[in-house]
A = this chain, B = another copy of it.
């Protein structure tokens, strides 16, 4: 067994993992369906009360005319960008260099839709108004991800967001929201989802991040936009005869958790402050603006792993099961994301874990300097 597997194993044995809602097990489905009437009819190829009711509910929550349930955000977002490009007659879309479409989708946007991404901003910072003002004039659509996951879940100021939206409207550039974690930023912005979505022409939200469902996404916008998206959904092979396993779970966990985002946000700030007390550890952002943030350690991955394993074993606290290197440095990081679990973690265990973390990292750094 290598070091990496040892970390996963040690994490899986902890009593108090700090991230998420719980294990992704069959129980997630069983709980969601427990009280659902077994005689309820399946949705059939996008029709039927079960899917139509949920779509209407989400359209209302997001303040859009219409909404369509998709098996994945990958499918929903490629389709949104394709529709906007077709309407504008341009092939270019603009987004952040660490956009999901650029780094996690095997170039589906290019390979299937033949669209050309224009990468805005340096990958280590947010897209700003100035980047948009200086953008290629043949961009049909700008995608903004709120929060920008790959840089710790950072957010632009709301006034900057409004200015970007106003500029795009003025210039006829379509604005699409990658809202994979939209629900999670509502407490920081102190806005409703509908208020934020009003700045965008189309919106995608996910149901298995902060909401903790099984899978699935909603794409929302005007009626003509969502109608067109259903044709592309069929073309992509996403218009399944039955999507209810995902829809029913999305609906169940949405109702259970959408009002808990404020709690997760406060807990994220608390947890980040624990990390930031240690000299060789810092969080990005320093003060989280949602339930997520990145934790940076000034120590190489292979030095940190045995430290984490020792802490997991002596305290039962689990920070993470995976560490990633930070390019061009000897540091490493992981993504923390607060869910239901954090509230159940005893504070004295947590303090003990952070005490050990601080001591062990200092010790390791001393050894390094000898």
Measured between beta carbons, the chain B residues less than 8 angstroms from A70 are 237
Enumerate A256-298 residues with CB–CB distance to B below 8 Å.
none
CA A25 to CA B39, docked complex, whole Å = 6
Scoring A residues 353 to 364 as 1 if CB is less than 8 Å from chain B, else 0, what string do you get? 000000000000
Binds B, one of A13-21, A108-116, A187-195, A323-331: A108-116
CB distance from A314 to the nearest CB of B (A): 26
CA A73 to CA B45, docked complex, whole Å = 13
Say which residue of B26, B112, B231, B232 sits within 8 Å of A248 (CB atoms).
B26
Whether A235 lies near B106 (C-beta < 8 A) is: yes
One complex includes copies of this chain to the number of 2
Closest to A216 in B: B240
Closest to A238 in B: B237
Whether A244 is near chain B, meaning CB under 8 Å from some CB there, is yes
Binds B, one of A29-37, A54-62, A162-170: A29-37
Whether A24 lies near B39 (C-beta < 8 A) is: no
Measured between beta carbons, the chain B residues less than 8 angstroms from A106 are 231-232, 234-235
Whether A153 is near chain B, meaning CB under 8 Å from some CB there, is no
Say which residue of B27, B36, B75 sits within 8 Å of A26 (CB atoms).
B36
Whether B236 lies near A237 (C-beta < 8 A) is: yes
CB distance from A15 to the nearest CB of B (A): 16
Whether A315 is near chain B, meaning CB under 8 Å from some CB there, is no
CA A111 to CA B108, docked complex, whole Å = 14
Whether A246 is near chain B, meaning CB under 8 Å from some CB there, is yes
CA A30 to CA B31, docked complex, whole Å = 11
Scoring A residues 105 to 125 as 1 if CB is less than 8 Å from chain B, else 0, what string do you get? 111100111000000000000
Measured between beta carbons, the chain B residues less than 8 angstroms from A74 are 234, 236-237, 239
Say which residue of B26, B33, B244 sits within 8 Å of A37 (CB atoms).
B26
CB distance from A28 to the nearest CB of B (A): 7
Say which residue of B27, B234, B244 sits within 8 Å of A38 (CB atoms).
B27
Measured between beta carbons, the chain B residues less than 8 angstroms from A40 are 25-26
CA A27 to CA B242, docked complex, whole Å = 13
CA A105 to CA B237, docked complex, whole Å = 8
Closest to A48 in B: B24
Measured between beta carbons, the chain B residues less than 8 angstroms from A113 are 112
CA A108 to CA B218, docked complex, whole Å = 21
Whether B38 lies near A25 (C-beta < 8 A) is: yes
CA A37 to CA B29, docked complex, whole Å = 12
Whether A173 is near chain B, meaning CB under 8 Å from some CB there, is no
CA A35 to CA B72, docked complex, whole Å = 28
CA A14 to CA B290, docked complex, whole Å = 54
CB distance from A363 to the nearest CB of B (A): 35
Pick 22 A–B contacts, CB within 8 A, sort by A: A24-B242, A25-B41, A26-B40, A29-B245, A33-B33, A71-B237, A71-B238, A74-B234, A74-B239, A75-B237, A105-B234, A106-B231, A106-B235, A108-B235, A111-B235, A112-B235, A208-B242, A214-B242, A214-B244, A215-B242, A237-B238, A238-B238
Give 5 closest A-B pairs by Cβ, nearest first: A75-B237, A245-B245, A108-B235, A74-B237, A27-B38
Could you list which residues of chain A lie within 8 angstroms of chain B, going by C-beta atoms? Answer: 23-30, 33, 36-42, 44, 70-76, 78, 105-108, 111-113, 208, 214-215, 231-232, 234-246, 248
